[in-house]
Amino acid sequence: MKVALGKLAHGRSGDKGDMVNIALIAHRPEWMELLSDAVTPKVLEQWFEGWTEGPFKVFEVPGVGAINCLIHNVLQGGGTVSKRLDSQGKALGQVVLEAEVEIDAKRAAELGFHL
Amino acid sequence: MGRPDNGVRIGGAGGFWGDITLAPLEMLKTTELDYLTMDYLSEVTMSIMHKQLDRNPSAGWATDLEVWLRAGGMELLKEKKVKLVTNAGGANTDACVSRVLKAASAIGWTDCKVATISGDCIGSKLSALAGTGEPFIHMFDHKLGSLLDHEETIVSANAYLGASGIARALEQGADIVITGRVADASLIVGSMAHSCGWAANGSELELNAPLADWAPPNIKNPYDVLAGWTLAGHLIECGAQVSGGNSSDWKEIPQLAELTYPLAIIESDGTCVITRAPGEGGRITRRTVAEQMLYEIGDPTSYHTPDVTLDLSQATLVETKLDHVRVEGARGRSPPASLKVSACHRDGWMSSGSLMVPGPNAQEKAEMLDNTMRGRLNHLSDIQIETEFLGSQALTPPGLRKDISPSEVMVRWTISSPQRAQLTHFARSIAPLVLTGPAGVAGYGARPRPREVLRFFPTSIRRVLVEPQVRIEHHQTWRHDLEERMPWLEDKVLARLEMISKFDNHPYWSKLASRMLDRLDESKVVKP
C-alpha cells in the first residue's frame, strides 16, 4: 500500500562536501524494516533524477530504528558552489516526508502500523 | 578540574558562526558547567574566513566570540571557573587570541591563560608536503584529481586536528583554549581527556600519537570511551539543533523564541546524558536527539574523527526524565591513518537575483520571465544560469514534484562565470524586467554584486606529517611579574614607592612614584 513517508518517520538532512544525508527515524523503532523496504537506493534514484545520478546508499541504524540515506554528487559540487537556494540540502529532510512510498500492508499491520 | 564521578558538564552554546551571538552568555548565567564549548566552524565557514583573511590580516576568525566575551561572558567564565574551549580561531588563531587576551585584561583578569592550538594550516606547505609523496587526492571522488592541480588558486588547506592539543593545553592550566580547524567533537573529547586523567597520563606522549594511547591503564576499551565522548560531542556541537531547533516536532517545542542550548553530562566511561540549560524554551526528547545523532553522518558504523572511528549504529537513546536523554552503546575503533584536509580554491564568480511574479497563471508567467532573461543574456559566453521557481516546489527534488499551480512564484536566477564582468550584464538585466517582462512583476532591489566562488576540496594527509602545536600565554602586570621573579624585592620596593607617592610636599617625587606604580599595573603579554 502507498503511505506518506511522514507517517512512518521523521527526518533531518545535512551536507558533507557534495553529498547530502537524509536521516529517516521511524516513529516506532520496529518500523525500521518498513523504511528499509520503502526507501531503497533505487527509489532515491527516482526521486533525485535530474539532480544527480548518484551513487545512492542506504544504511540501517538499528539502535534508534532509523535509516540513513546518502545522496552523492547532489549539490552541484558542494555548498559553496551550488547555485540552488538550498545549497546545503537543509530542506530535503522535510521535503521527502511528503513522498508517497510503497510498503507491505500485511507486514505493516504485524508491526502495528495502521493508516 | 571536572568531576568525572558525577559526570563532566559540558555546554554547547553555538552551532556555527552566525548562530545566536549571546547564547553562550545566557548559558553561562543559568547553567552549572565545567566547560563551555563553542563550535563556530563548518566546511563553508572556513572558506569564508580565508576570504576575509585575504582582505584583512586581523580578520578570518569568529568575531562573535569577542562580542559575548565583552558583554559579560569573560566575567562569568572567571567567576564560575568555567573553561572555554572553542574553534573560533578559524583561519587566524593569532588574531583571535590577541583579542581574547585583551578582553581578559579589560576586566582585570590579567593571569587568564589562553592557549592556542595550531598546526592545522598546511596551505603554505603544500609543495613541501607533496615532496614527501602525499598525493592530496580528492577524498570522495578520485576523478576530481588532486588538490595540487589547483595550486595556483588555492586559498587555504587545513588539516582536521584531534583532541590531543586541547587536552594538553587544559592539563597545562589553560583557562581558555582557542583552536583553528579541530574536528568539531574533539572540542568535547579534549575536555573529557583532561577531566578524566588521560591528559595527565599522556603528558609525555607526542601530540600526533593516537589519543587512545593516552588512556590510563585501568581503561579497558579506550576506543569505546573515545567513541562515547565523540558521540556526546557530536550531539551538542550544533547547539540548539538537539534541544528543539530544526526539529520535525517543531509544533510541540515550547517557546522557540527563547530556545535554550544543550549540555552533555558525560561520564568517564563514555556514556552521557543530553539535557539543556534551564528555561522555558526548547525540549529534548529521544526524537530530537536521534535527529541530531544522524545529522551530517555518512556510514553510521564508521564516523571518522582524528581521535576515533565511531560506530553509532547500535547507540541507544532513553528518556530518563523531562529534557534528559541517556545515550549509551557507542562503539569505537582506531581512527584512519590519515587526517581529513579541508581545502578551497578560487573558482570564478557568482551572482543571484530574484523577482516576484503574481497570478493568474503565475507559473506560466514565471517561465516567460525566465525565457526573457535568458534571451537577453544569450550573447554572453562562459556563463551558467540556474533558474529556480521558489514557491513552486523549488526545494523538492524533481522526482517528488506534484502537479500543482502556485498562486505566486519567485523567480531566482543564479549565474556563474569565470569572468566577473559577465555578471555585470546579468545584474543590469533584472530591474528592467519589471517594465519589459510579463505583467505584474514586482520586488526588484539593488543590482546584485558578484561574489567570488571558493570551491571546497576535501582531501587527506598522513597523520605523521601534521604537528599540532600548543602555546599558552597570558596578560600579566609588571607588578605580578616582579612578585613572581623577586618576591624579596617586591615588598620593599612597592612599600617604598607607595610611601613616596603620598609625599604631599614633594610633588615631583610623588608624581614619579605613582607613575611607576601605574606602569607596574599595566599589562603585558607573556609567552612562555
Task: Say what the alpha-carbon torsion angle B306, B308, B314, B318 is, to the nearest 10 degrees.
Answer: -80
Whether A85 and B390 lie within 8 Å, measured CB to CB: yes
Contact across the interface for B313 and A21, Cβ inside 8 Å: no
Taking CB atoms and an 8 Å cutoff, what residues of chain A touch B455?
A: 77-78, 80-81
Q: Does B3 score more than 60 pLDDT?
A: no
State which residue of chain B sits closest to A45, comparing Cα positions.
Answer: B399
Q: Give the start-to-end residue ranges of the domains of chain B.
A: 8-120+160-283, 347-456, 486-526
A110/chain B closest Cα distance in angstroms: 23
Give mean pLDDT, residues B492-497: 84
Of B47, B36, B44, B38, the residue nearest B15 (C-alpha): B38
Among B41-50, B229-238, B240-249, the range scoring the smallest mean pLDDT is B41-50
Decide if B403 touches A, using CB distance below 8 A. Answer: no
Q: Residue type at B362?
A: A
Mean pLDDT of chain B: 94
> What tens digit of pLDDT does each residue of B74-86 get?
999 999 999 999 9
pLDDT of residue B235: 98
DSSP codes of every residue in B109-148: -TT--EEEEE--B-GGGHHHHHHTT---B-SS-GGG-BGG
A53 or B44: which leads in pLDDT: A53
Which residue of chain B comes nearest to A86, CA vs CA?
B395
Which residues of chain B are within 8 Å of residue A25 when distances are taken between CB atoms? 287, 290-291, 294
**What's the pLDDT at B199?**
97
Indicate which of B39, B249, B296 best probes the interface with A, i.e. most A CBs within 10 Å of its own CB.
Answer: B296
Indicate the pLDDT class of residue B528, thresholds 50, 70 and 90: low
| Mean pLDDT, residues B259-287 taken together | 97
Confidence at B1, pLDDT banded by 50, 70, 90: very low
Q: Are the beta carbons of A17 and B416 separated by less than 8 Å?
A: no
Q: Three-state SS for B322?
A: coil
DSSP category for residue B463: G
- Give residue B5's pLDDT: 60
pLDDT digit string, tens, across residues B421-478:
999 999 999 999 999 999 999 998 899 999 999 999 999 999 999 999 999 998 877 7
Distance CA B507, CA B527 (A): 38
Angstrom distance (rounded) from CA B428 to CA B433: 10
Q: Is B328 on the interface with A (CB under 8 A)?
A: no
Task: Using a CB–CB cutoff of 8 Å, tell me whether A40 touches chain B.
Answer: no
Q: Which residue of A has its CA nearest to B318?
A: A64
Q: Is the pLDDT of residue B527 over 90?
A: no
With a cut of 90, say whether residue B498 has pLDDT above it: no
Chain A nearest C-alpha distance from B411 (Å): 11
Q: How far is B190 from chain A (nearest CA, A)?
A: 23
- pLDDT over 70 percentage in chain B: 99
CA closest to A72 among chain B residues = B140
User: Given this structure, which CATH class describes domain B347-456?
Assistant: alpha beta
Using left for φ > 0, alpha for ψ between -120 and 50, and beta otherwise, residue B279 falls in: left
Q: Between residues 67 and 106 of chain A, which touch chain B (CB distance below 8 Å)?
A: 68, 70, 72-73, 76-81, 83-86, 88, 91-99
Residues pairing with B341 in the sheet: B159, B459
Instruction: Please tell me the pTM assigned to this model.
Output: 0.93
Percent of chain A at pLDDT exceeding 70? 100
pLDDT in tens, B406-424: 999 999 999 999 999 999 9
Which chain A residues contact residue B415 at CB under 8 A? 83
Residue of B nearest to A98 (CA): B400
B145: left (phi over 0), alpha (psi -120 to 50) or beta: left
pLDDT tens profile B193-224: 999 999 999 999 999 888 999 999 999 999 99
**Per-residue confidence (pLDDT) for residue B48, from 0 to 100:** 86
Residues of chain B in contact with residue A81, where contact means CB-CB under 8 angstroms, are 347, 350, 416, 453, 455-456
Which of A64, A71, A72 has the most B C-beta neighbours within 10 Å, making it the best mutation to test the interface with B?
A: A64
Range A40-66 burial, b when 16+ CB lie within 10 A, else e: beebbbebbeebbeeebbbbbbebbbb
Asked if ipTM goes beyond 0.90, one says yes
